[in-house]
Amino acid sequence: MLPTEYEQLSLKLRAALETVKHVGLTTDLWTSAANEGYITITCHYITENFKLTSALLSTAPLITPTNHNAQNIADSISSMLAKWGLLSKVVTVTTDNDTTMKKACDILAFKHLPCLALTINLLAQDILKLAAVNGIISKCKRIVTYFKQNTIATAKLKEVQNTNQPLVLIQEVSTIKRILQINEYVTLTLLKLRNSPSPIPTEELEVLDDLSDLLSPFQETTLSVSTNTKVSVSLIIPVIAGIHHKMNQLNAKLRTQEGKDVYDLVKKRLVERLDTFETRTIPRIATLVDPRFKKDGFLRPSNADQAAKALELELLSFKSTTPRHPPTPPEPTSNEPNFRFSFL
């Protein structure tokens, strides 16, 4: 039954892809417990009705499963795209920041675009590993784990909160902001229980407050660009510029030294990890032609000027490769005079 359904859906997808001129790809690679490499390829395209559509093409072992080099990855991607007739239609490939994936795209002569959400996650991990905040984050995790694993503690929290939904509150403690919101109830509960983790002291709550403010722009950015229902590539450069502006505003509001240390690291990592997106052809052209942003979406005017030049070259290239045929004049009828020779 499943093979039959797969064949039917494959034929339907193949027919849809035949009408598509350009596709973008997202792909990821992971290794099994047996050290065998598997790759997933998803294509994204816009239909004739201007609807963004995604289709999973394959999740399969690499051609040589135990060989994880760039050539083997490139060959595996090429083989799958050839199967679907998409080799000549790929505009860009979005992957993580792994150098092997980048090299595989170079081998295939595909434009590579790092995933912004994954890049932001790496930046956030850099922040959370900072010695100034790592200990406080560990305390938060211990408290969350304690409530999730202790039914007595959960019942006591219900009593303190005077609510019928204590589990929902505990399960939602996945961000620093949420911990700050329910800390009063958590502290009262922990003080009533034996062998419970120590509550978070006031000075560390102030650090968490600074950290929450510093991390919020990254969370908002990740949510804004992580979508399968609309094109988001033109948002990349403006949201990065927005993070820079937000950080500048927060600098004067930070209350703790730990918060200031995190701020310094954020500013450094922004340059190292995110600022290069302004120099990439695809996102900068997308930003420039988006009527919401144009040149105002860029952090640096010089990058906006370079984007305009890149767009001009793109249009010239398109113009030179597009055949232009003069319109065919209408055939004159027998009742119409031939004006081309009327001067005779």
| Separation of alpha carbons 79 and 108, rounded Å | 11
Per-run averaged pLDDT (10 residues), the chain, 344 residues: 82 92 94 90 92 93 93 96 95 93 96 93 89 88 88 86 56 67 89 91 94 91 84 93 94 94 94 93 94 94 94 82 56 45 32
pTM summary value: 0.81
List the domain boundaries for the chain: 2-114, 120-219+251-262
The per-residue pLDDT for 169 is: 46
| Separation of alpha carbons 33 and 28, rounded Å | 17
- Give residue for tokens 């595989």: 104
- Per-residue pLDDT of 276-296, as tens digits, reads 999 999 999 999 999 999 999
The per-residue pLDDT for 174 is: 59
Among residues 34, 31, 45, the alpha carbon closest in space to that of 100 is found at 31
Can you list the positions of beta strands (E) in 33-99? Answer: 37-46, 52-61, 90-95
The per-residue pLDDT for 338 is: 42
The two structure tokens encoding residue 155 = 């019942």
Q: Which residues contact 38 (CB under 8 A, 6 or more apart)?
A: 29, 30, 31, 32, 59, 60, 61, 62, 65
Q: Which residues contact 298 (CB under 8 A, 6 or more apart)?
A: 237, 238, 241, 278, 284, 287, 304, 307
| Separation of alpha carbons 57 and 6, rounded Å | 11
The secondary structure of 269-335 as a DSSP string is HIIIIIGGGGG-HHHHHHHHH-TTTGGGG-SSHHHHHHHHHHHHHHHHHHHHHS---PPPPPPPPTT
The per-residue pLDDT for 342 is: 36
